Amino acid sequence: MDTALLTAALAKRKLPAFRERQILHAARREFAASWDEVTTLPKALRVELAEEVPFSTVTVEHEERSKDGSIKLRLATHDGFPLEAVLMRFDQPHARGTDKKLSRYTACLSSQSGCALACTFCATGSMGLGRNLTEFEILDQFLELAQRRIGTGDGRIDNVVMMGMGEPFHNYDNVMAAIKNLNSPDGPGLAARRIAISTVGWVPGIEKLADEPIQVKLALSLHAPNDQVRGSIMPVNRKFPLDRVLKACRTYRTKTGRRIFIEYLMLEGVNDQPEHAKELAHLLGPDNGFHVNLIAYNPTGTDYIGSSDEVVRHFAAILERKGVSASYRISRARDISGACGQLAAPVAAAKRKAREAKIARMAERDAEAKATGHAERLETPTEGERFEADLEARAAEAASV
């Protein structure tokens, strides 16, 4: 909800300040989904305000729930700009002494509709920039996701990552304002250290964040160990080459004492070779407050191919040997990149249809072979082939919300 609109609507009616507090409490702490659910207000007032102040600044256009409990939303601003928000579920081990399975949820939010930075592997990058999202459009993505968690009896959303569409530091003030609202005890009350901002390496933003009193996490999309490779996949590297980005990171580290999370997308034959790992270890240095997250590439209609598991493990082992902590969490990365690839929706949906048709054709052929007594024919798809086709279809689905 846009609080400027709300304040004006209440002031016009000369309503006392506690009304605003009631409304914001319902929206931001109880996760009411509409004016109807703000039951502390007289019905007539609710109806009046609904005319003037949209309950949410974003409209949900498409909602998809994956089997694992994750939720993906495609949304639009009131002037029609598309964005995305994803709720990722992480299953925890059973709580001690119970058979209750705990889940934790992370909300992945967008800071812009589209993005100006044109990273070559990113679907959002290929759209160009629509516009910056307002602080309310960012906060409302979280509230839309939180509303969908109500009444499930499952864990709450306790982490937020600014890893949806856009470059958060191109929209610094609105992102920080939204984060302050997420952090506020009058709002969802999320601990600042559970909120992460992911940046392409926009130096002025890193420098500014270093001076903020709020303890948010910083993640840097590095994706390459040298200027040559980085420049070839991320045009922003021409403006802010690696030495400038890392200098800003070190200053941030000195000022805040906080770790920086390095995101490193593993692209076959581009940045995933042992020499790249060695170069990366050298660039970051041992025990230096960086943690590397190796990320699986989510196909977005480019020519890149994700590195094999074996290559990733070897890469991680080299980093560890050289004293750089690294992790590779395929499920998380897939979910995140699912968010990144979303705006390739028409392409991904078309691909999904093609793959589903392929699976159906294989099943038909299977049945036919059985009927004609040639079940063991060589061209009958193997379990492996069927599994692979199914996996592809599901990956396309994940990218298509």
Q: Does the footprint of ligand SAH cover residue 179 (CB under 6 A)? A: no
Which residue is catalytic, options 137, 340, 392, 397?
Answer: 340
Positions 293 through 322 that interact with ligand SAH (CB under 6 A): 295, 297-298, 300
Q: Kindly tell me which of 19 and 223 has the beta carbon lying closer to ligand SAH.
A: 223
Q: How many CA atoms lie within 13 A of 102 on its CB side?
A: 11
Piece of the chain touching ligand SAH by CB under 6 A; list 244-252, 332-340, 365-373, 390-398: 332-340
- Residues 76-135, interacting with ligand SAH (CB under 6 A): 119, 121-122
Task: Count residues binding ligand SAH (CB under 6 A).
Answer: 19
Which of 263, 272, 392, 397 is in the footprint of ligand SAH by CB under 6 A?
A: 263
* Annotated catalytic residue within 84, 137, 144, 167: 84
CB of 181 or CB of 300, closer to ligand SAH: 300
Residues 6+ apart with CB under 8 A from 319: 277, 280, 281, 292, 325, 326
Question: Cα–Cα distance between 206 and 208 in angstroms, integer?
Answer: 5
204 vs 323, beta carbon nearer ligand SAH: 204
Q: Is 243 helix (H, G, I), strand (E, B) or coil?
A: helix
Residue 18 to residue 252: CA distance in whole angstroms: 40
Which residue of 167, 272, 392, 397 would you call a contact of ligand SAH, by CB under 6 A? 167
Task: Tell me whether strands 82-91 and 71-77 are parallel, antiparallel or unpaired.
Answer: antiparallel
Name the residue nearer to ligand SAH (CB basis): 56 or 307.
307
* 108 flagged as catalytic: no
C-alpha span between 304 and 203 (Å, rounded)? 27
Kindly tell me which residue out of 70, 159, 183, 221 binds ligand SAH, with binding defined by CB under 6 A. 221
- Residue with smallest beta-carbon separation from ligand SAH: 337
Among positions 333-392, residues that touch ligand SAH (CB under 6 A) are 336-337, 340-341
Q: Which is nearer to ligand SAH, 86 or 281 (CB)?
A: 86
**Min CB(263)–ligand SAH separation in Å:** 4
Among 163, 246, 280, 401, binds ligand SAH (CB under 6 A): 163
Q: Is 64 a catalytic residue?
A: no
Among 56, 141, 199, 237, binds ligand SAH (CB under 6 A): 199
Catalytic center residues: 84, 340
Residues binding ligand SAH (CB under 6 A): 119, 121-122, 163, 167, 198-200, 221, 263, 265, 295, 297-298, 300, 336-337, 340-341
